[in-house]
Each structure stands twice: as structure tokens, then as C-alpha cells.
Chain A
Amino acid sequence: MTRLKKLFDAKSSKVLNVYCTAGYPTLDSTLSIIAALENNGADLVEIGMPYSDPLADGPVIQESGAKAIENGMSIEVLLEQLKSLRATSNIPVVLMGYMNPVLQFGFEKFCAAAASVGVDGLILPDMPAYEFETKYGAILKKHQLDFIFLVTPETPTDRIQYLDSLSSGFLYAVSASATTGSALNFDAVDAFLQKLKQLQLNNPILVGFGVKDAASFELATRHTAGAIIGSAYIRALENSTDVTDTTAQFLSSIMGKS
């Protein structure tokens, strides 16, 4: 059984997925951040592979990516760093990025390397369903990597069901038609998430974009399995002197004292 399946079998609500940018704030901070997230109650880690032109991301994540590239981060460096991941960590890890750097690395070579270091899944927002079905889906399957598609409030119902059928691990619900780091309209988001719940999809749903604090986490997880926090965490790391402390404080602000 995959780590993601195990996670969602054991926990079907309030799953917290935290996004961090590989190589940010420093080149070597990624593994400490994963450990801090795992030790302080996160259920899942999404690691962003920095790209010069991240279309789906807002300014906070784009700037963290630019800084990470400046720090020397690349897919090659990240996969090298992650070789020691599974020696200490059991938290599910998905990589998020854009098609171009992955294609330059070599799609199959990337999948093989990611699977071998213990990565569980992949999110590439600019992967077209057509390309997935005709070319890349089989390669992901061969290396037993989950692939997660995005759905938005503008996605028609039949397409939501179609993207759900292509996805495994979970389905990523973009809370509003926006880039990452935008503010939420609570009523509109609630209606969208309620609709997703009623569709009884195959995959658990995690909600991202605009989730930044305890209140928005509560809203996002009312009808779904969990939520993804990105920009708010990156912002917290921006002025951090100790990523472990910052992470502990940040997570307790989201989940309250438990």
C-alpha cells in the first residue's frame, strides 16, 4: 500500500499538507523542514521544485523559487538531498513543479529517481490530461508514483469526475480561480467544496490556495479530507532564524494546541 493511501485510510479529516519550496530559505533547509513538519503534526509534505516561470503561483511562492534557484537548487540537487529522506522520515512526500524542468531532467529518469528516494507522488499543474493519458501516465504508474490533478470552481462536473479518475493519492481542489496566496471568499469556497463532497469522488480531496490560518483551515476542511498550506508558511520562513522553531510555531497556530 502506498504511503498516501495509508495516510488517508487512517485519517479522513483535517489532513494537513504543508508546502515548502526546495532550497528555501537555504539550500540545505529542505530535510530539516520535512523533519520539523513531521514532528509538529503535519500529515503530508509537498515540496516545490523551483521554476523560473511558475504560472500557477503568486508572488510569495515565485520569489521563494527564485531565491532557491539562486541558492543552487535544482531537481538533481533535490533528489540527491532526498536520498537520506527515508532513513529518518515516514511522512508522505509529494513533489510539485512544472513540466519544463522535469522534461529537461528526463521524465522517466525523474520518476525512477523520485520513486527510489521514497517520493510518493507528483503534482505538475501544467500537465495536460491529454499528455498524461497518451504519454506520461504509464511512466508514473510503472514507477508507482501517485499523480494528482487539480480541479477548480470553473471545472465542469464531468471533467471533475474525469480528472478524479486519472488521479491517485488525492485530488487537489483549488479553492478559487486564482494563483496561490490569494484571499478566500468563504461562501463561494464552501459551496464549491460541498459540491465536490456530493460527487463522491474516488480520491480524498485536499483544498489549496488561500488556506493560511486556523479559520481558513477550518473552512477548507469542513467538507473535505484536508487542506494544503503554502504561501503563508513560506512567508513565515522568510524571516526565520531557526526553521524548526518557526515550523513548530506555525503549525500550532493552524491546529491550535493539541
Chain B
Amino acid sequence: MMQQTFTNPNEHGYYGDFGGAFIPEMLFANVAQLKSQYLQIMDDKDFKQEVNDLLHHYVGRPTPLFLAKRLSAQYGTTIYLKREDLCHTGAHKINNTIGQIILAQKLGKTRIIAETGAGQHGVATATVCALKGMECIVYMGEKDIERQAPNVARMRMLGATVVPATSGSKTLKDATNEAIRDWINNPTDTHYIIGSVVGPHPYPDMVARFQSVISAEIRKQLLAQTGTELPTHVIACVGGGSNAAGAFYHFLEEPSVQIVAVEAAGHGVQTSMSAATTQLGTPGILHGSKSLLMQTPDGQVVEPHSISAGLDYPGIGPMHANLYTSGRGLFLSATDDEAMDAAFHVSKTEGIIPALETAHAFAALDQIKWKPTDTVVICLSGRGDKDLSTYMQKLDS
């Protein structure tokens, strides 16, 4: 039985008041199978070996921890960038899909489904399905298919079927609904690779564990580069929160490390066009777990807004909801405009074009008063190639 901590949920999947498995009976057998086997499989020596080999030789891990000297000088502190943008497929998402596809094979599954927002998780899933020769169906909101055309093309080229989600707000939330419905309709041969630390237990914990390689590497790399393995701050953007969970994971029980999560404020948290869940949400249930949720007083889920499709989600993983309400994490937010400015600034200062999602984490640098003695690690979760059309609109304006 797991002891509940900031890092680990209890046996029912709760981080404090958040988590659980609120699923219809049609999903019970699948989720129960996963729950009873995931820890055992993930702890198996051969499984670990296979995952680590692929992370090394295929994904390109360990990713560099890069001292951003010009950015550090500007903020009067020491800033390191964890280069998840250099992972194969361009973001941290593949850390999780590599793990889950091998786990799906161990469970005897032959068909893979996934949801995607910006398309990064869809691409990462399509990639590992191609690698393993498995059928892949990716659900994607109709609106996101329009604004993330290059990733849709990549998924198709990798052999995946991209199915538009046409219900509701036609974004990530609805793509997730459609993926869950597919799973209900295909209960025996299908594994659902959820891309974030959301969904019914054990998904939040399982995805966090697969992403925890990020913070495991940070600790080793910091020790090698600075002589101490603990930074003073770790900063990551949060939509559902998978790169943040990975970047925070091995620091959560280290009280000296300030955890900083940055949400998408959209047009601003005072407007109706935002995706800053901890600021605007209340406890509720979506996609199988209890967490903080943007909703009406009647309990209807609100359509969020963010310029970045990957953060355009009305909920947040239960681990993060607990970090927020317990005070363990500092939760900030950055608007669309602030994120755009940060993306251009980082590009010109360090020669790295970040994803729009990641740009939110950089925007938060302006919101904290830094000391020369601080050591700050920013999780550079993805690269900006997929956002070029949005960036070009600003270049042209």
C-alpha cells in the first residue's frame, strides 16, 4: 500500500482531497486491470530496461540541463533550462508514451487510443505506435485540428487515424470525452494512453512516474554542474500538468525547493477567456477524477481559453490541485500576450524557440523577485515549431 505524500496518492488514488476514480462501470474492468498491475509492471527489471533503452537510444535522453547565461544575467540569478524540447518529437510527451506503449504490450493490448490538444501527445503516441507496429487512433478537437495542422499531418504520416471531436467546445476536453467513449466501446483489446496527469486513478500517478525521469535527471545534472542537487526553484507550465509533474516529482518532498506552476491566464483571469484553473476553478469531477475545475455554479464544465492548445483545458491534475490547496506549490499565471512576448524574448536571448505552452513558464520569470544566490530550473517542455503560424502572425503585425 502506498503512503500518501505530495508525490504519491493513497491506494484509492487521492492526493489530499483530490483524485479517485469516478468512472462508469463500463470502464471499470480496464481501469481495475491497470490499477492492479501498473506498479508491478513498472517495477519489473526487464520493463525498466526496455523503457530506459528506448529513452536513451530513441528519445535521446538524458536531455541537456543548459545554463542560460544571458537570461541569468538579465534576471540577476542563475537559470538552467531542462531541454525537453530536444526529445524526439519535440516535447516531453514521449517520456510517457514510451512507457505506456510497453505497458500496453505487457497487458496484451493491440489497439491504442489517445486524446490530444496541441497535437504533441498525439504525435508522441503515433510515434511509439509506429515503432511498435500497433494500431493508433487519436481524438482531437475539431478546433485544434484547424490550429495545429502540422501536427495533424505528422500523426497521419506516422500511420495514425486522427478523429475529430465535434462535441462541446471541440477542444482537448471533448477529445478526451471521445477517447473515453472509444474505450467504453472497445473494452478488451484497447489501451488508452492518457497524455497528462489527469483521468481516473491510476493514470495521474502512472503518468507522473513516467515523466519523473525529468526531475531525476535534473538532480543528477545539477549535482554534476554545481555540486548540489537541489535548486531553489523549479518552474513549469501547467495545463493538465504532465511536464510539471515530471519536473517537480523528485523535489516535492524537499521543502527547500520552491515549486512554481504557471497556468494560462488567456486574456486575463478577470476575463471569461482564461484557462487558469486554480484561480478560477472549484472542486469538481471531470474525466474520472476529482480536482479543481472551471465550471458554472450548476456544475457544467466551462470552455476555457488559452492561445496555446496544450494548456486549453478546464481542469488540472489532482496532484497539482493538492499542491495548490496545501500551499506546497506557488501557482502563477501568464496571459496570452505575456507568453507571446516571453517566447520571442527567449528565442532572441538564448537561441531557443519554445512552444507556446512552455513560453508561459518563462513569462513567470517577471513575476518573482530573484536573488543572485537562487538556482532556478525551468522545464523547457517543448519546442516552438508547431506554433510557428501563431508566431508568424505576430512577426507580420
Residues in chain A within 8 A of chain B (CB atoms): 51-53, 55-56, 58-59, 62-63, 66, 69, 74-76, 98-105, 125-128, 130-131, 149-152, 154-156, 159, 163, 174, 177-179, 182
Bound CA span A140–B295, Å: 25
Cα A130 to Cα B23 with chains together (Å): 11
Instruction: Kindly state the separation between the CA atoms of A152 and B26 in the bound complex, as whole angstroms.
Output: 6
* Residues of B328-354 contacting chain A, CB below 8 A: none
Whether A177 touches B26, Cβ cut-off 8 Å, given contacts A53-B177, A101-B298, A104-B297, is yes
Counting CB contacts under 8 A, is B361 at the interface? no
Given contacts A100-B285, A126-B24, contact A179 B295 (CB under 8 A): no
Asked if residues B177 and A55 are in contact (CB atoms below 8 Å), the reply is yes
Partner of B185, one of A52, A104, A125, A178: A178
Cross-chain contact A69 with B300 (CB below 8 angstroms): yes
Q: Mark B250-285, 1 if CB is under 8 A from A, else 0.
A: 000000000000000000000000000000001111
Beyond A104-B284, A104-B298, is A125–B184 a contact (Cβ under 8 Å)? no
Chain A residues positioned under 8 Å from B23 (CB to CB): 55, 126, 128
Is there a chain A Cβ closer than 8 Å to B73's Cβ?
A: no
Is there an interface contact between A100 and B295, defined as CB atoms closer than 8 Å? yes
Residue B301 at the A interface, CB < 8 A?
yes
Give the complex CA separation of A154 and B184 in angstroms: 11
Let me know if B299 and A125 touch, CB within 8 A: no
**Contact across chains for B177 and A151 when beta carbons are under 8 A apart:** no
Cβ–Cβ contact A56 & B298, under 8 A = no
Q: Is the CB of B25 within 8 A of A75?
A: no
Residues of A within 8 A of B287 (CB): 53, 55
Determine whether the beta carbon of B22 is less than 8 Å from that of A155: no
Q: Which residues of B contact A174 (CB under 8 A)?
A: 25-26
Contact A53 B298 (CB under 8 A): no
Partner of A125, one of B24, B186, B293: B24
Give the CA-CA distance A182 to B187 in the complex, in Å: 14
Interface presence of B383 (CB below 8 A):
no
| CB <8 Å contact, B24 and A62 | no
Q: Decide if B184 touches A177 in the complex (CB within 8 Å).
A: yes
Query: Could you give, for residues 181-210 of chain B, a 1 whenever the CB lies within 8 Å of some chain A CB and a 0 otherwise?
Result: 100111110000000000000000000000
CA distance A247 to B193 in the complex (A): 43
User: Which listed residue (A56, A103, A105, A159) contacts B24, Cβ 8 A?
Assistant: A56
In the bound complex, what is the Cα–Cα distance between A130 and B295 (angstroms)? 25
Q: Contact between A128 and B26 (Cβ–Cβ < 8 Å)?
A: no
A100 touches B284 (CB 8 A): yes
CB A200 to nearest CB in B, in angstroms, measures 20
Chain B residues contacting A56 (CB-CB under 8 Å) are 24, 26, 184
Chain B contacts of A131 at CB under 8 A?
Answer: 20, 22
B residues bordering A, Cβ < 8 Å?
12, 20-26, 28-29, 167-168, 173, 177, 180-181, 184-188, 282-288, 293, 295, 297-301
Q: Are B185 and A128 in contact (CB under 8 A)?
A: no
CB-CB under 8 A from A125, the residues of chain B are 24-25
**Contact in complex: B26, A178 (CB < 8 Å):** yes
Which of B12, B167, B187, B188 contacts A59 (CB under 8 A)? B167
Chain B residue contacts of A69, Cβ below 8 A? 300
- B103–chain A nearest beta-carbon distance, Å: 20
For A155, the chain B residues whose CB sits under 8 A away are 25, 28-29
Q: Report chain B residues within 8 Å CB of A74.
A: 298
What are the residues of chain A within 8 A of B181 when measuring CB–CB?
A: 55, 58, 179
How far, in angstroms, from A60 to B187 measured CA to CA in the complex? 21
Please, which residues of chain B bring their CB within 8 A of the CB of A159? 28
Interfacial chain B residues near A151, Cβ < 8 Å: 25
The distance in angstroms between the C-alpha atoms of A51 and B293, with both chains bound, is 14
A47 to chain B, nearest CB (A): 16
Complex: how many Å from CA A125 to CA B22?
9
CB-defined contacts of B286 to chain A, threshold 8 Å: 53, 100
Contacts of A51 in B (CB 8 A): 299-300
Contacts of A130 in B (CB 8 A): 12, 20-21
Q: Are A103 and B299 in contact (CB under 8 A)?
A: yes
Q: How far is the CA of A20 from the CA of B173 in the complex (A)?
A: 25
Task: Report the separation of the CA atoms of residues A125 and B28 in the bound assembly, to the nearest whole angstrom.
Answer: 11
Residues B26 and A150 in contact, CB atoms below 8 Å apart: yes
User: Contact check: which of B29, B173, B284 meets A154 at CB < 8 Å?
Assistant: B29
Q: Which residue of B lies closest to A159 (CB)?
A: B28
Could you list 15 A-B pairs, sorted by A, with CB under 8 Å?
Answer: A53-B286, A56-B24, A75-B299, A100-B295, A101-B300, A103-B285, A103-B299, A104-B298, A104-B299, A126-B22, A152-B29, A152-B187, A155-B28, A174-B25, A174-B26
How far apart are the CA atoms of A156 and B187 in the complex, in Å? 13
Whether A152 and B284, one on each chain, are in contact in the complex, defined by CB atoms closer than 8 angstroms, is no
Q: Which of A104, A127, A159 has the largest number of chain B CB atoms within 10 A?
A: A104
Give min CB distance, B152 to chain A, whole Å.
Answer: 22
> Residues of B contacting A52 with CB < 8 Å?
168, 300-301
For the complex, what is the distance from the CA of A56 to the CA of B23, rounded to whole Å? 9
Q: A152–B25 contact, CB under 8 A?
A: yes
Nearest residue, chain B, Cβ from A102: B299
A228 to B293, CA, bound (A): 32
Cβ contact within 8 Å between A126 and B293: no
Instruction: Give Cα distance in the complex from A1 to B25, angstroms.
Output: 29
Cβ contacts under 8 Å, B177 to chain A: 53, 55
Closest to B284 in A: A100
- How far in angstroms is the closest Cβ of chain B from A157? 12
How far is it, in angstroms, between the C-alpha of A148 and the C-alpha of B283 when the chains are bound? 25
A124 to chain B, nearest CB (A): 9
How far, in Å, is B85 (CB) from chain A's closest CB?
32
- Contact (Cβ within 8 A) B185 A179: yes
User: Which single residue of chain B is at the shortest CB-CB distance from A163?
Assistant: B25
Shortest beta-carbon distance, B393 to chain A, in Å? Answer: 31
What 5 A-B pairs have minimum CB-CB distances, sorted nearest first? A104-B299, A101-B299, A125-B24, A150-B25, A177-B187
